[in-house]
Chains A and B, each alone.
Chain A
Amino acid sequence: MALDLRRRDFITGLAAASAACLMSGGPGKAFAGQVTDYTGEGVEIPSRPRRLLLGDGHLLLALALVHPDPVSLLAGWQGDLIRHSPAIFDAYRKRSPDLAKVPVVGQASADSFSVEAAIATKPDLAILAGCYGPGKRTPQIVARLQAAGIPVLFVDFWVDPIRNTAPSIRALGQALGGESVERAEAFADFHESRLTHISQRLKSVTTRPKVLIDMHPGAWSCCWVPGTAGFGHFISVAGGENVTASLSQLPWIQASREYVLSNEPDVFVATGGPYMRGQGGPVLGEGVGIEEARRTLKQAVDNSGLKTLKPVRDGRVSAFWHLFQDTPMNVVAVESLARAIHPDVFSDIDPAATMSEINRRFFAVPLEGCYTIAL
Chain B
Amino acid sequence: MTQTADIAIDGAPAGFQAYRRLLRRRLLLTICLGLLAALLFGVDLVSGPSSLTAWQTIAGLFDGSTLDAGQLVIIREIRFPQAAMAVLVGMALALSGGELQTVLDNPLASPFTLGVASAASFGAALGIVLGVSLPGIAPEWMVSVDAFVFSLASMGLLQVLTRVRGAGSEATILIGTALFFSFNALLALTQFLGSAQAVQQVVFWTLGSLSRSDGDRVAILAFVTLAVLPFSLLASWRLTALRLGEDRARSFGIDVSRLRALSLVRVSLLTATAISFVGTIAFVGLVGPHIARLLIGEDHRFFLPASALSGAAVMSAASIASKVVMPGVVLPLGVVTALVGVPIYIALIMARRTRP
Contacts and interface: CB of A to CB of B under 8 A. Distances in A.
Interface string A261-305: 110100000000101001110000000000000000000000101
B301 interface: no
Interface stretch (B14-22, B248-256, B306-314, B322-330): B322-330
B49 A221 contact: no
Interface stretch (B96-104, B194-202, B339-347): B194-202
Contact of B49 (A83, A84, A256, A280): A256
Nearest to B133: A278
A345 to B, nearest CB: 28
Nearest to A309: B70
Contacts of B237: none
A80 B196 contact: yes
B139 interface: yes
Interface string A106-125: 01110000000000000000
B211 A279 contact: no
B215 interface: no
A344 interface: no
B139 A262 contact: no
A221 B329 contact: no
B204 interface: yes
B231 interface: no
B50 interface: yes
A86 B142 CA distance: 24
Contacts of B201: 220
Interface in B177-217: 192, 195-198, 201, 204, 209, 211-212
B196 A109 contact: yes
Given A259-B327, A278-B131, A280-B139, A216 B197 contact: yes
B170 interface: no
A308 interface: yes
A331 B141 CA distance: 36
B28 interface: no
B1 interface: no
A254 B330 contact: yes
A247 B326 CA distance: 8
A280 B50 contact: no
A258 interface: yes
A256 B329 CA distance: 6
Given A259-B328, A261-B78, A275 B70 contact: no
Contact of B329 (A216, A253, A275): A253
Across chains A and B, which 8 residue pairs bring their CB atoms closest together, nearest first? A262-B50, A259-B328, A280-B139, A254-B330, A259-B49, A258-B48, A258-B78, A256-B330
Interface of A: 80, 83-84, 107-109, 132, 216, 218-222, 244, 246-248, 253-259, 261-262, 264, 273, 275, 278-280, 303, 305, 308-309, 322
